Amino acid sequence: MRLFIPLCFFFLFCTNSSLEEDKTPQWKQLFNGKDLNDWKPKITGYALNDNYANTFGVENGVMKVKYDGYPSFDNKFGHIFYKKEFSYYLLGIEYRFVGEQCKNGPGWALRNSGVMLHCQAPETMLKDQDFPISLEAQFLGGNGKDPRTTANLCTPGTNVFMNGNLFTPHCTPSISQTYHGEQWVRVELLVLGDSIIKHIIDKKVVIEYTKPQIGGGNVTNYDAAIKKDGMLLKEGYIALQSESHPIEFRKVEIIDLEKYASDKKKLEKVLKDIAPTSR
C-alpha torsion angle, residues 156, 161, 165, 166 (rounded to 10):
30
Residue 7 lies in a domain: no
pLDDT band at 164 (very low <50, low <70, confident <90, very high): very high
Residue 115 lies in a domain: yes
Residue 3 lies in a domain: no
Residue 72 lies in a domain: yes
Residue 11 lies in a domain: no
Q: What is the mean pLDDT of the chain?
A: 93
- Averaged over 192-200, what is the pLDDT? 98
CATH code for the domain in which residue 176 is found? 2.60.120.560
Structural domain for 265, as ranges = 27-274
Residue 8 lies in a domain: no
Residue 140 lies in a domain: yes
How many domains would you assign to the chain? Answer: 1
Higher pLDDT, 2 or 236: 236
Residue 185 lies in a domain: yes
pLDDT band at 276 (very low <50, low <70, confident <90, very high): confident
pLDDT band at 277 (very low <50, low <70, confident <90, very high): confident
CB distance 83 to 112 below 8 Å: no
The amino acid present at 229, given as its one-letter code, is: D
238-257 pLDDT per residue, tens: 999 999 999 999 999 999 99
Checking DSSP bridges between strand 165-167 and strand 158-162, what pairing results, if any?
antiparallel
pLDDT band at 279 (very low <50, low <70, confident <90, very high): low
